[in-house]
Amino acid sequence: MDVNVQIDLAKMALKGKRYNEAETVYMQIAIQNNSPEAWIGLGFCKMYQLADGRTMEEVIFCLDKAKTLNPQSSSEIDNQLITNCQIILSSYIKVFEEAIVKQKALNKAAQKGALLAGVSLGVGISSKSRFTKVASLVGTGVGVGVAVDAISKMNSISEIQNFILNKCNHIDVHLKKYVTSSSPNLLEYNSFILEVNDIINHSVKSLAVQKKWWANLTTLILFTIFLWPVGLYGWICRIKNRELLK
């Protein structure tokens, strides 16, 4: 079979999230033809599975093989790596945002049930999405099969947070070791990773704040009516933390 046809088949398998199939095809081409393109494809195939146990060490090994075979492509490979790091981290954060929305819906349902029973519960997760520039990058990865199933199956927001923080660090450390600091795309990436960290840190603080009794407006109003000094304290707390309650 023609090498170009094989590579096209591998790309289709990758986009369809048939990772084992894609890896097998890319590996066959890489070994049989020593193809730089196949090594690049194999590297990014592994990269899209970082959430499922692959490592950046595996990714970089494959990309180094491609650079050795075609040194002229080194700069382009670095740029592709930076772009894919952004796409993958964007996908992770997207799942995180969706988990927050689901948690908020569950908390609202619990709060409604508690109020009907005459009990007041704390407000849940913030509904304000801080997903700005990061979200737009997902569009650049349309058709790319980034593995996020492992994140989707996690049982808690804190578990997702810890996982994403670890993955961000793993990707960031290896990327900056591998890509030369003179790469112009690295400046954009550095701005991007700051935003990712900001989103996560804001969410962690928001989750903690919104568990407070004064985060629940109904509870706060009741305290204001029946125990106004406590209610006044609650209003002061809400004002101080209003950004985290949005």
* CA trace torsion 192, 193, 197, 202 (10° rounding): 0
Residue 104: how many other CB atoms lie within 10 Å: 16
Nearest-angstrom CA–CA distance, 194 and 172? 11
State residue 165's pLDDT score. Answer: 83
Q: Which structure tokens are listed for 139?
A: 């569009």
pLDDT in tens, the chain (246 residues): 677 888 888 888 888 888 889 999 999 998 888 889 999 999 999 999 998 889 999 999 999 999 999 999 999 999 999 999 998 888 888 877 777 777 666 766 665 565 555 543 333 333 344 334 443 433 333 345 677 777 777 777 778 878 888 888 899 899 988 987 777 788 888 888 888 888 878 877 877 787 788 888 888 999 999 999 999 999 999 999 988 887
Q: Which structure tokens are listed for 18?
A: 């048939």
- Give the pLDDT confidence of 14-48 residue by residue, as tens digits: 888 888 899 999 999 988 888 899 999 999 999 99
State residue 193's pLDDT score. Answer: 86
Residue 198: how many other CB atoms lie within 10 Å: 13
* Cβ–Cβ under 8 Å, residues 66 and 39: yes
State residue 47's pLDDT score. Answer: 92
Tell which phi-psi region holds residue 148, choosing left (phi > 0), alpha (psi between -120 and 50) or beta.
alpha
Helices and strands: H and E segment counts in the chain: 11, 0
Nearest-angstrom CA–CA distance, 131 and 199? 7
> Which string of b and e fits 66-101 if b means at least 16 CB within 10 Å?
bbebbeebbbebbebbbbbbbbbbbbbbbbbbebbe
Cα separations (Å) of 64 from 36, 77, 86, 164?
Answer: 10, 9, 20, 26
Q: pTM, whole model, 2 decimals?
A: 0.73
Q: Which structure tokens are listed for 132?
A: 């700005």
Tell which phi-psi region holds residue 53, choosing left (phi > 0), alpha (psi between -120 and 50) or beta.
left
Helices (H), 70-213: 74-116, 133-140, 149-152, 157-178, 184-209
CA 63 to chain CA centroid, nearest Å: 23
